[in-house]
Each structure stands twice: as C-alpha cells, then as structure tokens.
Amino acid sequence: MNPVPPNDVDWLTLDRQLCFRLYTASRAFTRCYQPLLADLGLTYPQYLVMLVLWEGDDLTVKAIGERLALDSGTLTPLLKRLEQSGLVTRERRADNEREVRVKLSEAGSELRNKARSIPPTLVAMLGLSLAEIEALSGQLDRLIKAARAAGIEESE
C-alpha cells in the first residue's frame, strides 16, 4: 500500500517537487560532462549511444533506442552525426529494409580507450565516494522501477 502524503503540507512548492530536483541534477550532471566529452568530440546523447555500442557492437537502431529509452526520431539524427564523424556505420538489412544495424568503426572502437578516463574524472569532480554513488544509483533504479510499475512511460 502506498503512503498518502499528509494534507497539512503544501505540496505545490518548487522545493517539494522531486521531479524538479531530478531535472536540476540531470542538467547539472550533463554540464559536468561537457568539457570531458568535448575532448572526444561527443555530445552527451552521443556519448550515451557510444556507451551502448561499446557494451555490444552491431545493434539495431531499435535495440539502441530500447536501451536508451529513445524513439527513432530522436536517435536517428544522433546516429547520423556519429556516422558523419566516422565513429559508426549504419546499414540497412537487404532482407528487411526497415531494420538498420549500427556498428562501431575502427575509430569508434578506439575512442573507447580515450573515454575510459571520463567516469573516474567525473567521480573526482563530484567529490562523492563510490559507496555514495552506488547508493544513489540504487535509489534511482528503485525510483525508475516504481515509475514504470505505476504505468508511466519513459517517452512521455
């Protein structure tokens, strides 16, 4: 059973909005990444795509979109720019032209080594311990799971 918030609290103040804290944290976090990713020639959304491909190369656009909770309308321009940068290739399947496969190029694979320094650099910038980061990640995972269970779609 879900707890009901008390009636004697004004829930319509900005400081009471969890969504605002998440939004603000997300924007601040993305700004922390910008100088680190500039050295790689990537935007934050492009970095996320590269992370997925570094985990498992030769994926469909649909599989990448599912992993990142992005629709193809958002993902396609990102992939186009990554292809123009020489980091990935995109190929339509001959037997199913609607399916596009994305593969890392040699340059895209090599970029992974350069990107290895980003997570530890970011952790140092934040000044949080690994235990704090893992605890926060666990809380966010539970929040995401709860939101999905409540029927809230990520694309909304």
The model's pLDDT over 85-117, given as tens digits with 9 standing for 90+, comes to: 999 999 987 787 788 999 999 999 999 999 999
Average pLDDT over residues 23-41: 94
Q: What is the CA radius of gyration of the chain?
A: 19
More confident residue, 53 or 16: 53
pLDDT band at 154 (very low <50, low <70, confident <90, very high): low
User: According to the model, what pLDDT value does residue 55 have?
Assistant: 96
User: According to the model, what pLDDT value does residue 3 have?
Assistant: 66
Structural domains of the chain in order of their starting residue, each with its CATH number: 19-116 (1.10.10.10)
Average pLDDT over residues 23-48: 95
Strands 59-60 and 100-104 come out as antiparallel
User: According to the model, what pLDDT value does residue 156 have?
Assistant: 45
Q: In what order do the strands lie in the sheet with 88-92?
A: 59-60, 100-104, 88-92
Mean pLDDT of the chain: 91
